[in-house]
Amino acid sequence: MFPLESLGKFTLYLLSLFIGMGFGAVLEMSGFGDSRKLAGQFYLRDMTVVKVMFTGIIVAMTLIFFSSSVGLLDFDKVWVNPTFLLSVAVGGFIMGIGFIIGGFCPGTSIVAASTFKLDGIFFVLGVLFGVTVYGETYPLFQNFVEDGEIKRFLLTDLFSVSTGTIMLLVFLLAFIMFYFAEIAESYFGKKTPWSEISLIPKNKRKIAAASVLITIAFIMFFVGDLTPQQKWNRLSINEQKQLDERAVFVQADELRELMFKDIAFLKIIDLRDESDYNLFHIKNSKRVPLKQLSEKESILELQQIPQPAVIFLVSNGEKLSSEGYKILKSNGVTNLYILDGGINSWLSRYPIEGVNPIQSDNKEQLNYKFNVAIGSKYPSSFPNVEHFPAIEFTKKVKLKSKKLTSGGCG
């Protein structure tokens, strides 16, 4: 399954070098080392930038989402630039002004410099100066640029539609732009008289290529996005193995230890119904019904939890929490664990006086008899060592921070 994980530093750097070479070469071959070509964009006489950039976007988009829908690529592990609406809008505007003055963007200026274009070299020096100024004045803008971050905010979330729908819309947008770009280029660039410009696209190869892309988008549109179960099935056998080998089932004592440790984020999610939760729950646990857990908002919140974090799923037994585990895991939530034996095991390890076990075969029920709802009022909800001396347990929680490659610009 891609992207490749646990790449060694050396391999990652080498790969980045080769990818960069491809990037630089294609920019150079398309003419992006020439500032006149880039600026010509804004006078409608040379539309190379729009054509190359949007063809690149739609081709990459098709390959990314198609390979992820057939299970080759795990999209949850792909870096998506977080959205800072105001900051990117202002930044984009500033850069637009810089573009028309300087005639490059940072990437293209590197390519211009590499082919000895002096204006490219001056532009690169300018960029170095610009980032220096930014670094030194950063405290002035810090709040503005860091506020309002929305992670992994996709067009599909914004419009609440499927990936296929967005692909269709983006492709249409791109084709309309290409259509007008061709006309603008003939009129403003080649100075073809208006009467001689054909308004009907005739190039068969272009039409064929566009049809292929549109067809893929239509297939994606009709197939629709994967459900959590389908995603789970696509995940490598490893994930199921984690469950089967009980690698993610953590004993009560280890959870207890984490509760008393000063770790960044410990999130305990209680999947049981309200009445069980009111009778008894672990201190600081949050009740989230399974249905709510599968909703976009909950998943996003857990995907974005600051790292290093540990997330625990709790139910009376293990059935409900295993369900929840599959849903979250197939949505790319990491550092996820299940309370071994659930609340029933917890209560047998940290008993409460007067609350007695009931004989039952159904482990998903609360198998203890409560006369009153005690919530998290008793030491059993936050079992310190004085009340419940420590015992040996097998350590299973691994604190690791999820690190996504942020790409060159991150």
H helix or E strand, kind and range, residue 266 = strand 265-270
DSSP state of 186: I
When the beta carbons of 213 and 255 are compared against another protein, the nearer one is: 213
Least CB distance to another protein at residue 209 (A): 7
Q: Which is nearer to another protein, 51 or 349 (CB)?
A: 51
The encoded tokens of residue 2 equal: 């891609």
Q: Which of residues 365-394 bind another protein (CB under 8 A)?
A: none
Question: Contacts with another protein in 43-82 (CB under 8 A)?
Answer: 43, 45, 47-48, 51-64, 67, 72-73, 75, 77-82
Is position 332 an interface residue for another protein (rule: CB under 8 A)? no
Amino acid identity of 209?
A
Is residue 133 a contact point for another protein (CB under 8 A)? yes
Q: Is 123 or 337 the residue whose CB approaches another protein more closely?
A: 123
Q: Which of residues 202 and 291 has its CB atom nearest to another protein in the complex?
A: 202
Whole-number Å distance between alpha carbons of 290 and 288: 6
Among 6, 95, 254, 395, binds another protein (CB under 8 A): 95
Burial profile 18-52: b = 16 or more Cβ within 10 angstroms, e = fewer? eeeeeebeebbebbbbbbebbbbbeeebbbbbbbb
Task: Report helix, strand or coil for 245.
Answer: coil
Kindly state the smallest distance separating residue 316's Cβ from another protein, in Å.
38
Q: Is 118 in the site for another protein (CB under 8 A)?
A: yes
Strand-pairing partners, residue 337, are 312
Given the rule CB under 8 A, which of 151-159, 223-231, 364-372, 393-401 is the region that contacts another protein? 151-159
Looking at residue 83, the DSSP 8-state letter turns out to be B
Our CB check for another protein shows the closer of 104 and 280 to be 104
Instruction: By CB under 8 A, tell whether 357 contacts another protein.
Output: no
Window of 101-109, 287-295, 315-323, 360-368 that interacts with another protein by CB under 8 A: 101-109
For the chain, give the number of residues. 410
Q: Return the number of other C-beta atoms located less than 10 Å from residue 179's C-beta.
A: 13
- Count of alpha carbons within 13 Å of 410, Cβ hemisphere only? 11
Smaller CB separation from another protein, 62 or 298: 62
Residue 249: closest CA among 350, 306, 298, 319: 319
- Interacting residue with another protein among 96, 354, 375, 379 (CB under 8 A): 96
**Angle at the Cα of 220 from the Cα atoms of 215 and 222, rounded to 5 degrees:** 95
7: contact with another protein by CB under 8 A: yes
**Closer by beta carbon to another protein, 39 or else 313:** 39
Residues 173-202 that bind another protein (CB under 8 A): 178
User: Residue 287 forms beta bridges with which residues?
Assistant: 270
